[in-house]
Structure 1
Amino acid sequence: MTSGPKLVSILRQGSYLIASIHTALDDTQMDRFREDLIEQIGRHRSRGVVIDVAALDVLDSFGTRTLRTIGEVARLRGALTVVVGIQPDVALAMVALGMSTGAIATALDLEEGLEYLNGRLAGGAVSRPAGRVPPP
């Protein structure tokens, strides 16, 4: 058993899961996060997932690919995913290195991410997001 602060938290809010990454994760920890989150989507029959990466000052290619994988698997299981809190320096580095979140929507913060899910899921059907949340 390890002690110390939690690296990731996954909280349930109604039909949504809110997953916050609190510190940089190595590849093994990122794989574990993916497995745990995907398992909880099924267990809670979640319709939406918010992944908060605001605490990260680096997001490498493996992390970015893992987020895309989570989003695609979640979609196949009936849940829509939005990534929130990408820091400006992280976004600049991702663009410079040609990395993206693919078809996963992004939002500025948790509040905007929840608004996005509420708007997209109000009609019932989950469809593929088209990138960043449009302004109201």
Structure 2
Amino acid sequence: MERIPILRMGRLLLVTIQVDMRATGVLIDISALDIVDSFIGRMISNTAAMAKILDARTVVVGMQPAVAITLVELGLTLEGVSTALNVERGIKLLERGGACA
């Protein structure tokens, strides 16, 4: 299994892709987020759109109720993004190709 280094540089994450990635799914864990703004919502949406172009599915896991409410209030539908309660369920969802868990 290849490793992809993720380095924290202040408030940024640096992800260096050093291998040919052919992913069928993208899992985004936002369980540590208590609040979101339109920027975070757009980043999730843009990531899902890019994954779809590469024929990969996106699952967001660990969304807190307040985060979900905020996304709705901001009018962000996160089209094409499935959700799951936690990482384990998100991985199962991606493996079986289902819609939402």
> Equivalents in 2 of 1:94, 1:76: separation in Å?
23
Distance 2:23 2:79 in 1: 21
Name whichever structure is richer in helix by fraction: 1
Aligned position for 2:30: 53
Give the TM-score of the pair, scaled to structure 1. Answer: 0.58
**Identity of paired residues, percent?**
35
Q: Could you tell me the TM-score, scaled by structure 2's length?
A: 0.75
Alpha-carbon RMSD across the aligned residues, in angstroms, is 2.8
**1:1-136 matched pairs, under 5 angstroms:** 29=12, 36=15, 40=17, 43-120=20-97, 133-134=100-101
Query: In structure 2, what is the Cα distance between the partners aligned to 1:45 and 1:89?
Result: 34
Structure 2: give runs of 5+ residues left out of the alignment: none
Deviation of the 1:43 alpha carbon: 2.7
Aligned residues, how many?
A: 94
C-alpha distance in structure 2 between counterparts of 1:72 and 1:99, whole Å = 13
CA deviation after TM superposition for structure 1 residue 44, in Å: 2.5
Give the CA deviation at 1:73. 0.8
* Cα drift, residue 54 of structure 1: 0.3
- Structure 1: which 5+ runs fail to align? 1-11, 20-24, 121-128
| Letter of the 1:80 counterpart | R
Runs of 4+ in 1 over 6 A off after TM superposition: none
Q: Do the aligned residues in 1 keep the contact of 2:58 with 2:80 (CA within 8 Å)?
A: no
